[in-house]
Amino acid sequence: MKRGWLPCLLLLLLLVLAGCAGSGENDAAADLGYTRIGAQQAKEIMDQAPDAVVLDVREAEEYASGHIPGAVLLPVGTISEETAAQAIPTRDATVLVYCRSGNRSQTASAALAQLGYTQVYEFGGIQDWPYEVEQGAPY
């Protein structure tokens, strides 16, 4: 009877630690000034806020091979104050950023936040996008 509380305490500790383990990625994103969301949340925002800017930060060839309808192409390596201003109407616009797998979109999101964009949402890569995709060149 004396040892009955020890397994419960260990289980509780494991549950607490497991619950905290997944928040590191979101904490890192918040520290860099943007919010990490999933594809479903991104789709909901697109459906509810048609003025949201969907930003594809891959290269033109990748964009042409398949992109989210309405997405604006701004390759991560070209992001500057000028190019961002051309693609995004205001610094408080809702911006949804994606790439192929999620690496470049994180870099781009941090760069946009550093430039002063306040509503940046990074949702990973198109390879995990379960919704409609269209093909065609950006211009």
- The overall average pLDDT reported for the chain is 86
Q: How confident is the model at residue 115 (pLDDT cuts 50, 70, 90)?
A: very high
Give the residue-averaged pLDDT of 66-73: 97
pLDDT value of residue 1? 45
Q: What is the C-alpha separation between 42 and 27, in angstroms, rounded?
A: 18
Residue 102, domain member (yes or no): yes
Determine the Cα–Cα distance for residues 42 and 31; give it in Å rounded to an integer: 20
Catalytic residues: 99
pLDDT at res. 137: 84
Report yes or no on 8 lying in a domain.
no
Under a CB-based contact definition with an 8 Å cutoff, are residues 98 and 57 in contact?
yes
Question: For residue 67, is it within any domain?
Answer: yes
Residue 96 has pLDDT above 60, yes or no: yes
Q: Residue 18 falls within a domain, yes or no?
A: no
Range of the domain at 52: 25-128
Whether 114 is covered by a domain: the verdict is yes
Q: Is residue 110 part of a domain?
A: yes
20 in any annotated domain? no
Q: Give me the CATH number covering residue 115.
A: 3.40.250.10
Domain membership of residue 9 (yes or no) is no
Instruction: Look at the chain and report how many structural domains it folds into.
Output: 1
pLDDT at 30: 80
**11-52 pLDDT, tens per residue?**
333 333 334 334 455 677 888 999 999 999 999 999 999 999
> 18 vs 11, 33, 72, 75, CA distance in Å?
10, 25, 38, 36
> Confidence class of residue 98 from pLDDT cuts 50, 70 and 90?
very high
